[in-house]
């Protein structure tokens, strides 16, 4: 196996804005990459180009040294040793679970006994051993999804491509399936590329997150880094439940900010030598303390462990905060911003 390399990838459909533009990234062997971005930003198009269902208009796709596709070259999907799992599972209704999982082996004319063995292993990897003889109609949504995963395991692909595989499932099942995906990744050792518009899903599953917007790659990094050091307003607004404040910061300040500098910026007391900035503040970094800035609670919801608040500051800007103590809408509170990140 080898790294998957996308080089200045571009895809144009007709004359409008390109669906994918100048997208370059490398996925090292065995990594689990989440391709994250809002609907319509080009995620599926990237996946379809990798799989071989769509040809790049420009740029290239390589697996190690091997060129899979560029504007003049197009290796067919079956010669890329990849497997794609679709949102709509695409199981054959007239076949049993075992037959569905074994179908790719039948197409490849793998010997019967060997095929049976591989199907057994794949079903065991997704904990469906007991369901081999059922038909898809007799399974739950989560079980069907696991059949689709097992079917892609049997061919031992170098790269597994998943396009919003959990979008059709309810919340409870999604959490269970996230566990299955993590296990599947650990057991198969395959490189995985997982498309989603759900930031918490991307964070929970992946070893690396690539954030896309309007066909471009904005940032690619491990989840912790995307969360702690997001590059720019789009990612700042997408990842975590932060608030973005507009303020004037001293020109020399670093990207990582703390209370005294944030207080000064919000008080507006340093006019000279300042510049306008956007600062991301996470709710867990907002402390309710009478020594802080004055604010008013504009909404308060009890979430179970805590209250989720929206607080309006004197200058009209609003931010999210948490409180363990009951706080009511309309209450006056003091607000200390313990940490912020300049976007």
Which residues, at least 6 apart from 337, have a Cβ–Cβ distance to it below 8 Å? 259, 262, 263, 266, 281, 285, 286, 287, 292, 293
Question: Is residue 55 a contact partner of residue 49, using CB atoms and an 8 Å limit?
Answer: yes
- Judged by the rule CB under 6 A, the positions of this chain that interact with ligand ADP are 13, 19, 37, 39-45
Eight-state DSSP code of residue 79: G
Question: Is residue 326 a contact partner of residue 307, using CB atoms and an 8 Å limit?
Answer: yes
CB of 20 to ligand ADP, least distance (A): 7
What CA–CA distance (Å, rounded) separates 203 from 269?
Answer: 38
By C-beta, is 42 or 165 nearer to ligand ADP? Answer: 42
By C-beta, is 53 or 301 nearer to ligand ADP? Answer: 53
Q: How many CB atoms lie within 10 A of CB 18?
A: 18
By C-beta, is 13 or 301 nearer to ligand ADP? Answer: 13
CB of 214 to Mg ion, least distance (A): 14
Which of Mg ion, ligand ADP, none is residue 41 near (CB under 5 to 8 Å by kind)? ligand ADP
CB of 13 to ligand ADP, least distance (A): 3
Q: How many CB atoms lie within 10 A of CB 229?
A: 15
Which of Mg ion, ligand ADP, none is residue 40 near (CB under 5 to 8 Å by kind)? ligand ADP
Structure tokens at 219: 């940032």
Which of Mg ion, ligand ADP, none is residue 165 near (CB under 5 to 8 Å by kind)? none
Which of ligand ADP, Mg ion, none is residue 136 near (CB under 5 to 8 Å by kind)? none
Work out the angle at residue 227's Cα, subtended by the Cα atoms of residues 177 and 84, and round it to the nearest 5 degrees.
35
By C-beta, is 5 or 162 nearer to Mg ion? Answer: 162
By C-beta, is 174 or 197 nearer to Mg ion? Answer: 197
CB of 210 to ligand ADP, least distance (A): 12
Name residue, tokens 């004037």. 248
By C-beta, is 40 or 273 nearer to ligand ADP? Answer: 40
By C-beta, is 44 or 143 nearer to ligand ADP? Answer: 44
Which of Mg ion, ligand ADP, none is residue 261 near (CB under 5 to 8 Å by kind)? none
Which of ligand ADP, Mg ion, none is residue 274 near (CB under 5 to 8 Å by kind)? none
What CA–CA distance (Å, rounded) separates 60 from 36?
Answer: 21
Which of Mg ion, ligand ADP, none is residue 189 near (CB under 5 to 8 Å by kind)? none
Binding residues for Mg ion restricted to 39-58, rule: CB under 5 A: 44
CB of 17 to ligand ADP, least distance (A): 8
What CA–CA distance (Å, rounded) separates 102 from 118?
Answer: 8
Which of Mg ion, ligand ADP, none is residue 45 near (CB under 5 to 8 Å by kind)? ligand ADP
CB of 43 to Mg ion, least distance (A): 5
What CA–CA distance (Å, rounded) separates 6 from 61?
Answer: 5
Between β-strands 4-11 and 256-258, what pairing exists: parallel, antiparallel or unpaired? unpaired
What CA–CA distance (Å, rounded) separates 165 from 21?
Answer: 25
Which residues, at least 6 apart from 29, have a Cβ–Cβ distance to it below 8 Å? 1, 2, 3, 191
By C-beta, is 49 or 286 nearer to ligand ADP? Answer: 49
Backbone angles phi and psi of 143, in degrees to 5: -70, -40
CB of 47 to ligand ADP, least distance (A): 8
CA 96 to chain centre: 32
CB of 197 to ligand ADP, least distance (A): 7
Question: Is residue 59 a contact partner of residue 52, using CB atoms and an 8 Å limit?
Answer: no
Binding site for Mg ion (CB under 5 A): 44
């Amino acid at each position: 196996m080898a790294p998957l390399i996308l080089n200045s990838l571009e895809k144009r459909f007709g004359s409008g804005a390109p669906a994918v533009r100048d997208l370059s990234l490398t996925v090292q062997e065995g990594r689990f990459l989440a391709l994250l971005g809002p609907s319509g930003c080009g995620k599926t198009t990237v996946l379809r180009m990798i799989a071989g269902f769509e040809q790049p208009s420009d740029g290239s796709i390589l697996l190690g040294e091997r060129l899979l596709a560029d504007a003049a070259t197009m290796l067919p999907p079956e010669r890329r040793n990849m497997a794609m799992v679709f949102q709509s599972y695409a199981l054959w209704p007239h076949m049993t679970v075992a037959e569905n999982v074994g179908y790719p082996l039948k197409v490849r004319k793998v010997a019967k006994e060997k095929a049976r063995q591989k199907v057994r292993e794949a079903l065991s990897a997704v904990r469906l051993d007991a369901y081999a003889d059922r038909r898809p109609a007799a399974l739950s949504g989560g079980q069907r999804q696991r059949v689709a995963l097992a079917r892609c395991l049997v061919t031992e692909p170098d790269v597994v491509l998943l396009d919003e595989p959990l979008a059709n499932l309810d919340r409870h099942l999604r959490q269970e399936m996230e566990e299955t995906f993590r296990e599947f990744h650990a057991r198969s050792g395959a490189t995985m590329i997982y498309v989603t518009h759900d930031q918490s899903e991307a964070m929970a599953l992946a070893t690396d997150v690539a954030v896309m917007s309007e066909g471009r790659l904005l940032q690619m990094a491990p989840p912790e880094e995307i969360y702690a050091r997001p590059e720019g307003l789009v990612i700042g607004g997408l990842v975590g439940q932060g608030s973005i404040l507009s303020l004037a910061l001293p020109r020399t300040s670093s990207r990582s900010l703390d209370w005294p500098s944030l207080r000064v910026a919000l008080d507006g007391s340093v006019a000279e030598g300042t510049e306008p900035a956007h600062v991301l503040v996470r709710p867990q970094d907002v402390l309710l303390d009478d020594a802080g800035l004055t604010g008013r609670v504009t909404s308060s919801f009890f979430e179970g462990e805590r209250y989720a608040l929206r607080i309006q500051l004197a200058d009209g800007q609003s931010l999210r905060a948490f409180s363990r103590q009951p706080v009511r809408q309309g209450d006056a509170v003091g607000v200390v911003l313990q940490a912020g990140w300049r976007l």
